[in-house]
Structure 1
Amino acid sequence: MRKLLIFAEQGFTVAALLMYSGAIFVLILSGGASQDDIVEYDTSLIRIIFFLFYAVTFFLLVLRWKKTLYFFVLAKDILLYSLIVLVIVSITWSFEPSTTLKNSFTLLNSSLFGVYFASRYSLKQQLHLLAWTFGIVIVLSFIFAVALPKYGIQNDIGSPKLRGVFVHKNGLGARMVTSSTVFFILAYQAKRRSLILWVGFSLSVLLLLLSVSTSSLVNLLIIIFAFFAFQIWRWSYRVMIPTLILVATISQILYFWLSNDADILFSSLGKDSTLTGRTELWPLVMDMIWKHPWLGYGYGGFWQGWDGESAYIWRGSGWFPNHPHSGYLALCLDLGFLGLGLFCLGFCRSYLKGFSWVRSSKTAFDIWPLLHMTYIALASLTESALLESNSLNWMLYVAACLSVRMTHQNQIMKKM
């Protein structure tokens, strides 16, 4: 009976991860519409499913209330908790309080699932559950592309691009970065009997390439490089310090070379120097940030079409974005520099603790939190992938931050 309950709980976790990934449901309910298409469809089914996941997550946390409370106290990530509280209280100054109320409720529950994921499962178990989730996504993406091309193929951006079970090709590309990272870590650690894991990694990369998501491909290459660079931190100081200096020197040379030849680099990747209009959008966004620099417009209170403050952006840019294509600018619009400061301080503290944990550990699993935080920092440069409600990225970020802090505290307690 106990094994059956554990299996059922793991099944719930995989189903929740699949839902938070944004796969399948939105694509089907929209009738295969593109992310940029203005299509009205009933989202009540999605809201009901998410509400059920919220309820089950809360029940599981309460069921293990002693462990949950212990986890909260021991992790004591005050900066992360403060950021979530700031989201909730932003209702008081929001330009659209009803939207802020709804979005803050979903963000809180997304964060609670991150708490559940980190407190219930070890890093190894987290990666295996993510592998099952992405395995389902990979299989369904190929099925949709072949059997249901109306849904699996995106045809409104020039030549057809694969989008699998997501509403946009960039959605598939972004998820395949995380999928590739998960399968790579598991395959690297397994060594023996890792064929199926390397197949998962290869199929993830193939889907990423077929999505033609350039930024996701660049992010994946950086993540793979970071995986090996982080392992240098485990070497003896006599070898580690010269190696890190060498890596830093090469990185600086590459940075200056890329800065001087940015146009050539962008053209070789099929992009223009405006990053598909982003650099023209960002000055307009900064204009609006400086109107309410400290607290912003409330969580989700800015982008209200022609009826909100976003009308200035729409008139000035000549197109109709629903986010600033930058997680950091999105955070400033929502919560001002106070919110951005809380996030950056919390990120840096968790990142440093992640390095401390990697230094004292031996497995590839322990590098996962650092890699995901690195990915969040990179993806947020050109996509609003930071403080999103009902988002896999945010949920995994919460789990990563709490996991490294928990393992760091346990490590300290063992030495005492």
Structure 2
Amino acid sequence: MSKRLILIEKIFTVVSLLHYTGGPLAVILSGGASEGNNLVATPDYALIQFLFFINFSISFFLLVLRWKKTIKSLTQGKHITVLLGLCFVSLLWSAAPTVTLVRSVAILGTSLFGIYLATRYSLKEQLQLLAWTFGIVIVFSIIFIVFLPRYGLMSGLHTGKWRGIFAHKNVLGNLMVLSSMVFLLVALNERKYKILLWGGFASSTVILLQTKSSSSLIIFFIIMSVFLTIRSIRMPYVLTIPTLLLLALIGQILYLWLADNTTYLLSSIGKDTTLTGRVDLWPAVLDKIWQRPWLGYGYSGFWGGWDRESAYVWRVTGWTPPNSHNGFLDLWLDLGILGLLIYLLGFLASFLKSLVWVRISRTSISLWPVMYIIYFWLSNQTETTLLKQNEIYWLLYVTVIFSMAVSSNRLERNNLNYFK
């Protein structure tokens, strides 16, 4: 392949990744609307959907060009392949069949792009492309915040909070956690551009603080602690066990302290002990789950308005959440216990594989799978990104899982059978 075609393919990848982050079209097309502005008309996001369709089509074409590698990878990322199939099968019992069909196609397209990334680029190349993507996000977010505050800053309920090129501060906060992870790992691995890479890490952290997104801040500190813990696993065994025990002891002390000071801490960051309504929301969601526990309401068949099953939850809670604010509850709603078990078993297997990966590799890049898997788990405790179409979070989860499968094949060919 010529250098020009390789460059074009990388540009396509970075532009697509930027689009999957959700910026900047959503906030521009909404006219800079914020939560609490009482927006009457729903913005027209047809352009965004069209661009996703273009991405799906190109991704499918590029995968067909590498069809042998693609098929071999699909046989190893089994739990994701089965979940995608279950989304389409759930049309048979969906409470909203049309929505289920449309969004099943969308989640398939999102996953295809993730598989393309895994089969086309190495982990090192993936992180480099992500660093370019988040670098663009950082630069344009600062431009929006300084020169286009109507778009770059929140109004309404969160006046003055930074949101950059995104529709909500929490989106920017979550992405800056990811950005800090990417720049940290690439900076530790690369010999060139150290100043730029560490600058990216520092900028991500500063922007994260300015979003005032409490859940993102908590995840950031947990992920950084995980990073230190994972690095200790690479120590000689005589040092690994004492280090892990010490970290576990510190974690237990922090947990006990947090348990005694929960009310004070939440009030200090503008939250309450109901986690901004989630504690009231989750019991109402569980009420509906127990009505159809085994197969759920079909993929994306529950939430959607007063004429859908979500109406019960809205009436009980007194507000209109778009989802359960918990990825595992939403997966249970969509695909029942069957879908939830498939995901959890696959997640556990992937997590264990990522830990083995850390032990047998000495590069910082190899920390990415386990760190992202943990990040993905944590982010779904209070938000829904699990099996969510047209979003970077599920996209990267698919990429990480299939990347480990592709690299495992390479290791096996070199007679390093650690993954069997």
TM-score, normalising length: structure 2 = 0.95
Give the corresponding residue for 1:283.
Answer: 283
Q: How many angstroms apart in 2 are the aligned matches of 1:303 and 1:14?
A: 31
Give the corresponding residue for 2:50.
Answer: 48
Distance 1:35 1:53, change over 3 A: farther
Q: How many angstroms apart in 1 are the aligned matches of 2:391 and 2:158?
A: 28
> How far does residue 70 in structure 1 lie from its aligned partner after superposition?
3.2
- Partner amino acid for 1:101? L
CA contact (8 A) 2:325 2:384 kept: yes
> How far does residue 193 in structure 1 lie from its aligned partner after superposition?
3.9
> How far does residue 407 in structure 1 lie from its aligned partner after superposition?
2.5
Deviations 1:75-99 (A, max 9, x none): x122221111111111111100010
CA contact (8 A) 1:161 1:169 kept: yes
> How far does residue 43 in structure 1 lie from its aligned partner after superposition?
2.0
> How far does residue 67 in structure 1 lie from its aligned partner after superposition?
2.4
- Partner amino acid for 1:311? A
Q: How many angstroms apart in 1 are the aligned matches of 2:96 and 2:309?
A: 10
> How far does residue 318 in structure 1 lie from its aligned partner after superposition?
0.8
Give the corresponding residue for 2:178.
Answer: 178
**What is the number of equivalent residue pairs in this alignment?**
414
1:168-317 equivalent positions in 2, closer than 5 A: 168-190=168-190, 193-317=193-317
CA contact (8 A) 1:353 1:408 kept: no
Select between 92-101 and 146-155 the one with higher mean Cα deviation: 146-155
1:39 to 27, 38, 41: 41
Give the corresponding residue for 1:159.
Answer: 159
Which ranges in structure 1 are unaligned for 5 or more consecutive residues? none
SS of 1:112 mapped into structure 2: helix
CA contact (8 A) 1:115 1:402 kept: yes
1:3-152 equivalent positions in 2, closer than 5 A: 3-34=3-34, 37-73=39-75, 76-152=76-152
Q: How many angstroms apart in 1 are the aligned matches of 2:144 and 2:264?
A: 36
Give the corresponding residue for 1:332.
Answer: 332
- Partner amino acid for 1:26? A
Which ranges in structure 2 are unaligned for 5 or more consecutive residues? none
CA contact (8 A) 1:219 1:375 kept: yes
Q: How many angstroms apart in 2 are the aligned matches of 1:408 and 1:55?
A: 28
> How far does residue 61 in structure 1 lie from its aligned partner after superposition?
0.6
Give the corresponding residue for 1:389.
Answer: 389
Distance 1:159 1:201, change over 3 A: same
TM-score, normalising length: structure 1 = 0.96
Distance 1:167 1:315, change over 3 A: same
Q: How many angstroms apart in 2 are the aligned matches of 1:401 and 1:263?
A: 38
Give the corresponding residue for 2:365.
Answer: 365
SS of 1:150 mapped into structure 2: helix
SS of 1:389 mapped into structure 2: coil
Q: How many angstroms apart in 2 are the aligned matches of 1:119 and 1:263?
A: 47
SS of 1:415 mapped into structure 2: coil
The percentage of aligned residue pairs carrying the same residue is 48
Q: How many angstroms apart in 2 are the aligned matches of 1:165 and 1:193?
A: 25
CA contact (8 A) 2:153 2:159 kept: no
Q: How many angstroms apart in 2 are the aligned matches of 1:346 and 1:157?
A: 39
- Partner amino acid for 2:252? Q
Q: How many angstroms apart in 1 are the aligned matches of 2:290 and 2:191?
A: 52
- Partner amino acid for 1:72? L
- Partner amino acid for 2:167? V
Q: How many angstroms apart in 2 are the aligned matches of 1:131 and 1:188?
A: 13
